[in-house]
A and B are shown apart, each in its own frame.
Chain A
Amino acid sequence: MKFFQYLLKIDRRIIYIVMGILVMLPLIKPLGLGVTSGPRATALFDAIDALPAGKTILISVDFDPSSMPELYPMLAGVMRHAFAKDLKVLLCGLWVTGVGLADKAVTEIPPEYGKKYGEDVVYLGWKAGVDAVILGMGENIKNVFPADYQGHPLDSLPMMREIQRLRDIPIAFAISAGTPGYQDWLLFAQSRYGMKVGAGLTAVSAADAYPYLQSGQLTGLLAGMKGGAEYEVMVQKKGYSRAYMPAVAAMDSQSLAHVVIMILVIVGNIAYFATRKRGA
């Protein structure tokens, strides 16, 4: 019993140190546990993979730097997939603090595939007024975004000559860290314009999205860093990319941390009930 009492009084800092070491070690020396792709990520991958070359996908970058480890790999993975398939990518954002992240992706990823800004990729930037922005894009994108993020008039960009409104885009992929996010794309882009919507979410909000997946409203779902890793693996397996996979590299640490937390939860509960019974 003394052992259980000791367990319940263990200094939280010891747990932090153990957790820190266990998370750090697999990053330095990977365990190679591997990542398998689930049906939700595969559904999104297949939907994008099935698009004919020349079509456009819309990516809504609705997250800020605090969610970058979870969501940026999804953004990079989907963009690489699209460029490898000769799809065009249109980006926009509902989060003002996400503009730098989308700009980073637009600057770094298209050159890997020899893609040119204005012809294969356009970043519209951010506008205030979530529902008004999506509804406006449904009528005419140029009314909402007369110019792109860099200030080029949309009429001057070759890619935008074929894209007038949301109905010209077969699928939107909303990468959301909260609200506004994928729900707004479902509310306004899907219900009004019948647009297919896929979502990439932080793990915290992923459980809330399952009802939309089950009802068929969401085409696919990438949940947290695991979702990003699943997509990275599928993109590499198909030979679309050989880039470094940050989410896959993190999964060994993630798995090890989860095992430790499961052990702590089980041991903590056993210790709690053992000491409570004795006290009663």
Chain B
Amino acid sequence: MHLSNSILTWIAAILTIGIFSFLWKDNPFYKFCEHLFVGVSVGYSISLTWYNAVYPDLFNPLFLQPFSAVSLGRKLLLVIPLILGLCYFCRFIPKVSWLIRFPMAFVLGWASGVAIPAYFQTNILKQMQGTFLTPGIFARWDVLLWAIISFIGVICSVFYFFFSKEHKGALKVASETGIVFLMVGFGASFGYTVMARMSLLIGRFQFILGDWLGVIK
């Protein structure tokens, strides 16, 4: 056993135990750690955003750098995102809160224009193709079998969400088969979620036992 002599490791370990104390019951120490975490996270994000984006890309070239380094045209161009960005803060002033519509319209327009064709290509066309025509589909019997199962799963799951006709006869069989596939999907997601949560717990224990207590490597 080799206890850490770093004050930061001690603080992190004590805060970890504070968060874990919630498992026993809610308590003031947990509340303190929780609020500290929220505050630090927000502060950390704001400072990183300032130093990595706002300062180097907007504030510095617009206000601090001379015209010899940044041309008038570029400075004027930077005024547009500055104004759009400031419009977001109008949300807090009721009289001019409507100004927030301008940056939101800009962002929505830009994002839709850029993302819709790419989204269609990636998530619809390629996925429709991949539902059956997977790479090397006829190369091996097991790949073909899985492709057929996927195909049946997709069709039946889609039928489950088909509400224009009452689910009777063949449609009922298809939609109930779809439920089976959906349940398998939910089960897989739940299994992975358990693994994710356990991984985080293990990560904390590795920190406590390793970095703090020095019991493990």
Contacts and interface: CB of A to CB of B under 8 A. Distances in A.
Contacts of A187: 115, 118-119, 122-123
Contacts of B131: 215
Given A16-B23, A191-B122, A250-B203, A96 B52 contact: yes
Contacts of B194: 258, 261
A194 B192 CA distance: 30
B198 A254 contact: yes
Interface stretch (B28-36, B41-49, B63-71, B87-95): B41-49
A250 B210 CA distance: 12
Interface in B24-81: 24, 41, 44-45, 48-49, 52-53, 56-57
Interface stretch (A167-175, A221-229, A269-277): A221-229
Contact of A127 (B53, B119, B188, B202): B53
A225 B130 contact: no
Contacts of B121: 191
Interface in B109-151: 110-111, 114-115, 118-119, 121-123, 126-127, 129-131, 134-135, 146, 150
Interface in B156-205: 185, 188-189, 192-196, 198-205
Given A23-B202, A96-B52, A254-B195, A131 B114 contact: yes
Given A96-B49, A128-B49, A258-B194, A246 B23 contact: no
A13 B24 contact: yes
Contacts of B9: none
B45 A96 contact: yes
A258 B44 CA distance: 35
B205 A253 contact: yes
B193 A211 contact: no
Interface stretch (A62-70, A82-90, A111-119, A154-162): A62-70
B127 to A, nearest CB: 6
B205 A97 contact: no
A204 interface: yes
Interface string A187-214: 1101110000000001110111001101
Main secondary structure, interface of B, reads helix
A21 to B, nearest CB: 11
A249 B115 contact: no
B209 interface: yes
B23 A27 contact: no
A125 interface: yes
A27 B196 contact: no
Contacts of A69: 199-200, 202-204, 206
Interface of A: 13, 16, 19-20, 23-24, 27-28, 66-70, 96-97, 99, 125-128, 131-132, 135, 147, 183, 186-188, 190-192, 202-204, 206-208, 211-212, 214-217, 223-226, 244, 246, 249-250, 253-254, 257-258, 261
Interface of B: 23-24, 41, 44-45, 48-49, 52-53, 56-57, 110-111, 114-115, 118-119, 121-123, 126-127, 129-131, 134-135, 146, 150, 185, 188-189, 192-196, 198-206, 209, 215-217
22 contacts: A13-B23, A27-B205, A28-B216, A69-B199, A69-B206, A97-B48, A99-B48, A125-B52, A126-B52, A128-B49, A131-B111, A131-B114, A191-B126, A207-B185, A212-B130, A214-B146, A215-B134, A216-B134, A216-B135, A217-B122, A246-B206, A258-B194
